[in-house]
Structure 1
């Protein structure tokens, strides 16, 4: 059955409006009597039947409610340096499929892409739509949170104070990802700082270590592209805590 993000939830009924209504009616051409799945980012999903299709909304009667265990038990966030082209979109899509809790687009010294003001807001809205579609495709019941484009000093205010920070860094030669994760708590959030093309400036790594108590780690002897490092690190962390495989 097709999946939709619920626009409004009532007692034994929910409504689809705006883009969700348009997708159901104009793209999928579903009709009264068809069954669908709705989710509302609370962790629940609802099996429902289409009862009424109107100009502004679709009314769906709830048949069953479930709380499937599809979300990662450990909350893992990406704080990713802005990358040009479609690289950020790819990281957001694949990160959503894997189970990331959210993504912070981060301004960095070596970033080629520069986003400010309304341009930054519009881009984040586009990224949220990509994440929303990936959530439906991967049968998630909570969409990852896409934060505003942020500077380094804003990081501490965006995530809980108990967040554990990791920063893969090519100059780190002694600490491995696995050795650091053994000392982390899977019950507390983990944030992965991923550099843009060209990596982090050394001063940025030092700032993260001093202000976020970020642990720098090695991902091995080969230099990875920014988007590869993001997805590889996310996969390794989720796998370490048993959320993949």
Structure 2
């Protein structure tokens, strides 16, 4: 497993001859086996950062590395996977086949079946393993997308507002599922959201973005599961809102 180390990262776009600084001088270390949430207004650079980490975009300047927890090991790029807001399932494949797709080159089919069945069970999808994406709900589709990522067994999981399009009840269930998976596997997770409650509910640390820059790192020293109505939870939420909105919520 590995964490993520980002140093002096910049990303510039050119639109109609105008230079747009999507990210400016980002320095961020995400320790191995930690859950970090990124929060901020739309256009603040959160999704751009995820795309740079997983290689979908190239940085203008700066460096991204994946240092292993054992510092004696040479630093090598590790496997990174991203879960988008849309499930992006292949409609001609069943739930089970979609989840197994990252393992298509694995010759040991018994191992593949064991891995897929494990996550079908963990994500409460076993009953729907033979269903096609058009036959399942949005929540089930997003669980299938998460299961596909977990079957790939990446060292770093990036999540770009994966629960944003779901109804409140399904979202709450998947938040609980995600926390459970994190506690069981201790994967390194970087989770983008616009929802401050969600950021505090999930993250061990909340990184606040504004106009392409990091303005604050907010530790969340609360155990799981968290009560959104507790005084400690609300205090962290107020501090984050104050930084994003620029008003005092005390």
TM over 0.5: no
Which structure: larger Rg? Answer: 1
Greater RCO, CA 8 A, separation 6+: 2
TM category (shorter chain) comes to under 0.3
User: TM-score w.r.t. structure 1 length?
Assistant: 0.27
